[in-house]
Amino acid sequence: MGEMARKISKVDHDELLKILNIAYAEEWLAYYQYWLGAQVALGPHRSNIVDEFMEHAAQELKHAQMLSDRIIELGGVPILSPSKWESVALCHYEEPANPQITELLKQNLISERCAIARYEKICEMTFGKDYETHRISAKILHEELEHEQEISDFQDDIASELEIWCQNDK
C-alpha cells in the first residue's frame, strides 16, 4: 500500500475499492470474451476482425493490470479468484455461443458500452478528489471509446456491403 496514495485520495475508500474491483473483474471477462471470440469467429472480414479482437483483448488485459496496480496502491486486494469475476461484474460476460462475426460484434458492442458507463462513473467519482485514479480511469475510458468506434465501424462496413450485394442481386 502507498501511504500517500491513500492519504491524498479524497474519495470514500471502500466505495472506490469496490468499484475498482468491479471494473477489474469486468476487464478479465472482456479480455476472455475478445480472446475466445477471436478463436471461434466465422463470417465476413474474419481475418481483419480477429486481429482487432486480439488487439482489444490485449488492451483489456492491460486495463486489468492498471486497475490491479491502483487497487494495491490504495491498500486493497484485487479479486483473488476467477470464480468471483462473474458475480462481481455488473457488465455481463457475453458467451460467444453463436460464432457468427455479426453476432460477436453485437455482443462486444454491448460490453464496450457497459465499460464506457463504468469508467464514466469512476471518472465522476474521482474528479478533483483522486487525481491518479481519475487519470487511469480517463485513459481507460478513452480506449473503450475507441473500441466502441472500431466495432461499430466494422458493423457499418458489413451492413453497407450487404446493401450493395442486395441491390446487385435485384
Among 19, 52, 57, 63, which residue interacts with Fe ion (rule: CB under 5 A)? 63
Question: What amino acid is encoded at 13 in this protein?
Answer: H
Are the C-beta atoms of residues 90 and 114 closer than 8 Å to each other? yes
Half-sphere exposure of 135 (CA within 13 A, CB side): 6
Q: Which is nearer to Fe ion, 12 or 69 (CB)?
A: 69
Please report, as residue ranges, which positions from 128 to 157 form the binding site for Fe ion (by CB under 5 A): 144, 147
Q: Is 118 in the site for Fe ion (CB under 5 A)?
A: no
Question: What amino acid is encoded at 74 in this protein?
Answer: L
Here the cell at position 129 is 478528489
Q: Minimum Å distance from CB 164 to Fe ion?
A: 30
Are the C-beta atoms of residues 11 and 55 closer than 8 Å to each other? no
Q: Which is nearer to Fe ion, 10 or 142 (CB)?
A: 142
Q: Is 94 in the site for Fe ion (CB under 5 A)?
A: no
| Interacting residue ranges for Fe ion, rule: CB under 5 A | 27, 60, 63, 112, 144, 147
